[in-house]
Amino acid sequence: MLPLEERTAIIHLMQREVVPAIGCTEPIAVALCAARAKEILGCVPERVHLSLSANILKNAMGVGIPGTGMIGLPIAVALGVTIGRSEYQLEVLRDCCPEAVERGKQYIQEKRIDIALEEDDPDKLYIRAICEAGGHTATAIIKGHHTHFALLKRDDEVLLDDDSASSEEQTTDDIPLSMHKVWEFATTTCIDEIKFILEARRLNEHAADEGLRENYGHQLGKTMCSPLGKGIMGDSIFSKIMSRTSCACDARMAGAMIPVMSNSGSGNQGICATMPVVVFAEENHNTEEELIRALTLSNLTAIYVKQSLGALSALCGCVVASTGSSCGITYLMGGNYEQVTYAVKNMIANLTGMICDGAKPSCALKVTSGVGTAVMSAMLAIQHKYVTSVEGIIDNDVDQSIHNLTSIGSRGMDVTDRFVLDIMTSKGEGS
């Protein structure tokens, strides 16, 4: 068992990174920033000026905003400055109602919102909101993490200046993890100390139920549950894992007004790290303790990978989260640490390079691809079959394999990231 001080630090890390969120975390973080600036100003602003990093802009363009039936940033910002409450963090729009949506639409129609790309700050997660009213201005900056305020200012008075947490610096300040440390924590920590992870099951199962009940997004989850889906894929554990996970993603990406348990600032990552493990445990009749340990292993693996990848990158987050769920499923199959490392290597060999082209309903397709790979990787791993160091980017050492993945995602794909944003922002110009 890890020393008490180290266990406590990891528990605090998990409790910080595994939190409820309503809606896609990028537009919600923008709404949070705008809400905080409004609170500093003391009234609903006459104008709001937003400056966003390319990755924030990319991830906020095409996703549904909960409770609105609308997509994109303007309505998120309008709600942020009218009914948003920063104390709710990533549930900042919790008080959204039809009347608030109508006020938000009016705010947009009055052309009170300006949104621009931030060119100067190198951080991939950067949001600046400036609210103006009555000759006064209030500024809020979120940087490095979806809820980290780096600067708060009213007129020329600086209320907070904490510009120390870029996405890279913030992750390196965390307790250093390794795959073996993740395994040891998940499998040896007193069960009562990690029982809180069951809240992820409750929230994300509710999201999956909602996705099955209504017609959200591309209805991938419902399609796999339909007679057509069952006729093609059967009613196996594999198909249930994919359908339940994609149901939750369908609902979230289309703007269902429900919280999900996020991981490392992403609701989809939280869903992807949770639902496959939950469904497999139910179907495999694992005990509650085994489920708790598997969920801890899955979510902490995702957090570990994100430590070197950064909060936002060109790499689709399902690569990270489904790697975690593959570890959790391998554990539930009776796998040991060695077999869990095999699952990680199988995942990296398969999914590395899947691009993030913003948050949107079709994320359910990518999440399902990741989840399917997670199950296959676990099946191979439990039989001691894995991709070896003579193949591609895989190293003998599992931690080096992970760092190979994150280096590609954080640095190697930077040009890809810019190309993706250019394509997304220029569509239709030639028509």
What is the amino acid identity at position 74?
P
Which pLDDT score, from 0 to 100, does residue 167 have? 40
- Give the whole-angstrom CA distance, residue 314 versus residue 273: 19
* Closest-CA residue to 69 (of 205, 202, 214, 213): 214
- CA–chain centroid gap for 149, Å, is 19
Which pLDDT score, from 0 to 100, does residue 191 have? 98
- Give the whole-angstrom CA distance, residue 105 versus residue 90: 22
| pTM as predicted | 0.91
Which pLDDT score, from 0 to 100, does residue 421 have? 86
Which pLDDT score, from 0 to 100, does residue 425 have? 84
Please give the average pLDDT of every successive group of 10 residues along the chain, which has 431 residues: 94 96 92 98 97 91 89 95 96 95 97 91 88 97 93 96 58 75 98 98 97 95 94 95 97 92 94 98 98 98 94 89 98 98 98 91 95 98 98 98 95 89 78 42
3: number of CA atoms within 13 Å, CB side? 2
* Closest-CA residue to 358 (of 268, 263, 273): 268
Q: How many CB atoms lie within 10 A of CB 181?
A: 17
* pLDDT tens, residue by residue, 2-49: 999 999 999 999 999 999 999 889 999 999 999 999 999 999 999 999
- CA–chain centroid gap for 37, Å, is 24
> In the 3-class helix/strand/coil scheme, how is 304-350 assigned residue by residue?
HHHHHHCCCCCECHHHHHHHHHHHHHHHHCCCCHHHHHHHHHHHHHH
- Give the whole-angstrom CA distance, residue 47 versus residue 38: 10
What is the amino acid identity at position 317?
G
Which pLDDT score, from 0 to 100, does residue 358 have? 87
Coil, helix or strand at residue 207: helix
Q: Name the token pair of 177.
A: 């993890």
CA distances from 106 to 34, 74, 102, 133 (A): 17, 11, 6, 17
Which pLDDT score, from 0 to 100, does residue 173 have? 46
Which pLDDT score, from 0 to 100, does residue 431 have? 42
Tell how strand 157-161 and strand 149-154 pair up. antiparallel
Which pLDDT score, from 0 to 100, does residue 166 have? 47
**Residue 108 contacts residue 74 (beta carbons within 8 Å):** yes
* pLDDT tens, residue by residue, 65-94: 999 989 989 999 999 999 999 999 999 999
